[in-house]
Structure 1
């Protein structure tokens, strides 16, 4: 009896990039474990947190020749089948020719209830494979809480901050009060 061989249909980054180029601009797609995943529009509270954070990070990044940007895909040579799009990316160097960064200094994921397990699981594992990444922020949308993942040599440390805490960012020569991230929101 002959058995048909099943072809692996998972995409790698190069194939995903070609595929995504033909999608409408209004659509945002991530590649997760080789499968394209359409991102739903975030809620207003989520977007307010993203805007507050991006503004504060950009103010710190700009004097160093860096910038904070939303919506960039992150690429790692160590894992070709995942291209997440964090809420905020800080990167330095010349502008990218496309929307994919291999060299982020900092990424921030603002958690939504529907994406929490993915953002705190698979994506953290992925981000830890990006050599240039020094800081990963996990920002909660339903409470004033920020987890700061920082690369220390070959390991990572994690620190949790509450509303009255202050996010020290020596990589950007500054700090961001957690309260500023939640400015304009009931916490």
Structure 2
């Protein structure tokens, strides 16, 4: 994240401005943050994940969105642009513009060195407030590592982690299997 504007902004003003400019900004309790560009590895991972999910979701009543679909956590609280978001069932949007999703079942973030701590901490804290969210998948871009946080019946979040080429994670809420070697295809790891 970059520097926030000093003057608190209403969600109405944020959405109006966001719909007028090509740059994307995240909103957290009155402050907006410009989003940085993504690396080649980040883009390759998002592309791979989108393709793998698309193939498995085709026959299901689910929709997947890549990067440009904004997600609102709670009214007047926060808006984010996850790398991927999946909804199964009816899509719920904030308004008739249909550009702000309210009910993702799965959110996937590709970690970058500059945002990894934030994606694991404060951003995940906001995402956990979404009643619809069942799984949060973090995918590292500098090493073979996928971490899936899954909501348990009593509200705790359980972690499953894979980090070998033959390992796999199942996103149970959407019944999709992700193999590490497929997710990391054509991704350059140092």
TM-score calculated relative to the size of structure 1: 0.86
Alignment of 1:127-146 (within 5 A): 127-146=127-146
Deviation at 1:95, TM superposition (A): 8.1
Q: Specify the structure having the higher radius of gyration (Cα).
A: 1
Alignment of 1:15-30 (within 5 A): 15-23=13-21, 25=22, 27-30=23-26
**Aligned-partner SS, 1:110:** strand
Alignment of 1:1-187 (within 5 A): 9-23=7-21, 25=22, 27-70=23-66, 71-77=68-74, 80-92=76-88, 93-94=90-91, 97-153=97-153, 154-163=155-164, 164-187=166-189
C-alpha RMSD of matched pairs (Å): 1.9
Alignment partners' CA distance in 1, 2:109 and 2:156: 20
Contact 2:92 2:102 in 1 (8 A): no
Deviation at 1:68, TM superposition (A): 1.7
Alignment partners' CA distance in 2, 1:87 and 1:120: 14
Q: Deviations over 1:92-136 (max 9, x none)?
A: 335854221101010001011111121111111011000101110
Alignment partners' CA distance in 2, 1:150 and 1:130: 13
How many residues align? The count is 177
Structure 2 residue runs without a partner (length 5+)? 1-5
Deviates more, 1:125-134 or 1:85-94: 85-94
Alignment partners' CA distance in 2, 1:12 and 1:108: 27
Structure 1 residue runs without a partner (length 5+)? 1-7
